């Protein structure tokens, strides 16, 4: 947070002593001198705790972004604003081009208290032989997963091991093994669709959950940890946005993290662009698509994109076979609730596809 072991620099504003948290690029960011130790505590915890890193990044982000849709304006003063966070909020005001943090209400233990909410959970079988989640601060397991639309965290914990084992048959989960779950709860299909649209397109900066997932991925990268990600259904959207947000500085090594896409309802080729950008690996299985799902295949554009992914993986024969098979399978019905996030997530794919329509569509698209 721009903090160090040296004494902070101070500035007097209207007789009040303020400490610099960040200065230089962007707006200067200051807090009251009496609260400086709290921000030091957040910075230290951010090295090992995804929620603290998430909070730290939101605070520092105010030096570059104090407007837009994420910030609430005070109805009595345009200079006073508020940023809502998972587990708290930040009140601040603008003064001479500086950002003054006037009030920080945050529970750094929020994830442990808000069990079953957004965050990381270590999952292991209990004495009843059921997968049981417990909150953790960072990833310490070989396997990690992001859930899709489910009714509860218990359902996620039970469902995902089968997808993990399908994506990584060379390293399956045993009865005594653990995996890490990034759980993102959904309050019905309308809530799930809206979150999926936000993260698929990146509008409004995506969801707060995507920012928390990005923090968890960053900590694993800085620790050079090997992680096998299994990203399920609508979880592919939040994973896509998280990869847009992660720090790509040299000290972050994403090459030891691998991704498997399971039943993605957004376009896997667009997600895969973000994976390649940060340097993550693609699992040998690559992806799993439900052959009977018009949503996963046609609406999200994956009946074309899965062939393109296979081509990039070096399996050109498989790409051609799958592509030709798909030609005869387009059909079925879908609902607005199912189609909307898929269409939004696949919008760049559709726009690009229009310009390539022609007799050699498949060959031209697969080679890109």
pLDDT of residue 69: 53
pLDDT of residue 237: 93
* 154: pLDDT strictly greater than 60: yes
pLDDT of residue 119: 95
The confidence band for 1, taking pLDDT boundaries of 50, 70 and 90, is low
* Sheet-wide strand order for 10-13: 10-13, 16-22, 29-32, 98-106, 88-95, 77-85, 71-74
pLDDT of residue 295: 55
The single-letter DSSP state of residue 9 is P
Residue 43 CA to residue 53 CA, distance in Å, equals 7
Residues 275, 283 contacting (CB under 8 angstroms): no
Residues 144, 182 contacting (CB under 8 angstroms): yes
Residues 120, 180 contacting (CB under 8 angstroms): yes
Calculate the alpha carbon distances from 93 to 20, 56, 60, 367 in Å.
15, 18, 14, 51
pLDDT in tens, 46-94: 999 999 999 999 999 998 876 555 555 555 556 788 888 888 889 999 8
Residue 44 CA to residue 220 CA, distance in Å, equals 16
Question: The tokens of 133 are what?
Answer: 């989640």
The confidence band for 253, taking pLDDT boundaries of 50, 70 and 90, is very high
Residues 189, 337 contacting (CB under 8 angstroms): yes
Buried b (16+ CB within 10 A) or exposed e, 105-135: ebebebbeeeeebbbbbbbbbeeeeebbbeb
pLDDT of residue 151: 87
- The listed range with the strongest mean pLDDT (125-139, 278-292, 313-327, 332-346) is 125-139
Residue 301 CA to residue 278 CA, distance in Å, equals 23
Domain edges within the chain: 10-106, 115-366
Instruction: Give the chain's mean pLDDT.
Output: 80
Residue 140 CA to residue 227 CA, distance in Å, equals 9
pLDDT of residue 72: 58
pLDDT of residue 306: 54
Q: What is the DSSP string of 164-181?
A: HHHH-TTS---TT-EEEE
Q: Return the SS3 of 204.
A: helix
Neighbours of 82 (CB within 10 A): 15
CATH class of 10-106: alpha beta
Q: What does DSSP say about strands 131-135 and 178-183: parallel, antiparallel, or unpaired?
A: unpaired
pLDDT of residue 77: 59
pLDDT of residue 335: 39
- The listed range with the strongest mean pLDDT (29-38, 98-107, 221-230) is 221-230
H or E segment at 110? helix 110-113
pLDDT in tens, 239-251: 999 999 999 999 9
The confidence band for 338, taking pLDDT boundaries of 50, 70 and 90, is very low
pLDDT of residue 288: 87
């Amino acid at each position: 947070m721009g903090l160090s072991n040296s004494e902070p620099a101070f500035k007097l504003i209207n007789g009040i002593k303020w400490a610099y948290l960040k200065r230089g690029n962007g707006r200067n960011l200051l807090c009251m001198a009496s609260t400086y130790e709290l921000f030091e505590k957040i910075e230290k915890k951010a090295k090992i705790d995804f929620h603290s890193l998430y909070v730290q990044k939101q605070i520092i982000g105010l030096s570059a972004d104090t407007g837009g849709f994420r910030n609430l304006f005070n109805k009595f003063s345009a200079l006073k604003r508020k940023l809502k966070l998972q587990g708290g909020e930040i009140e601040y005001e603008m003064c001479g081009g500086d950002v003054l943090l006037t009030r920080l209400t945050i529970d750094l233990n929020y994830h442990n208290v808000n069990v079953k909410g957004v965050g990381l959970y270590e999952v292991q079988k209990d004495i009843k032989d059921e997968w049981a989640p417990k909150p953790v601060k960072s990833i310490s397991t070989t396997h990690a997963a992001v859930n899709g639309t489910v009714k509860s965290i218990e359902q996620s914990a039970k469902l995902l091991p089968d997808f993990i084992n399908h994506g990584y048959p060379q390293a399956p989960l045993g009865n005594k093994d653990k995996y890490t779950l990034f759980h993102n709860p959904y309050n019905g299909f309308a809530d799930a669709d809206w979150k999926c649209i936000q993260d698929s397109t990146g509008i409004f900066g995506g969801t707060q959950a995507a920012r928390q997932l990005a923090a968890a991925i960053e900590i694993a990268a800085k620790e050079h940890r090997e992680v096998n990600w299994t990203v399920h259904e609508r979880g592919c959207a939040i994973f896509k946005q998280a990869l847009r947000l992660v720090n790509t500085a040299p000290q972050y090594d994403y090459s030891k993290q691998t991704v498997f896409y399971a039943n993605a309802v957004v376009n896997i080729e667009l997600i895969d662009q973000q994976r390649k950008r940060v340097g993550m690996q693609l699992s040998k299985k690559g992806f799993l698509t439900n052959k009977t799902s018009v949503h996963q295949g046609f609406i999200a554009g994956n009946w074309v994109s899965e062939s393109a992914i296979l081509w990039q993986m070096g399996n050109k024969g498989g790409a051609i076979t799958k592509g030709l098979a798909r030609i005869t399978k387009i059909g079925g019905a879908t609902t607005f609730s199912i189609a909307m996030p898929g269409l939004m997530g696949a919008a760049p794919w559709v726009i690009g596809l229009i310009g390539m329509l022609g007799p050699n569509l498949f060959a031209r698209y697969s080679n890109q």
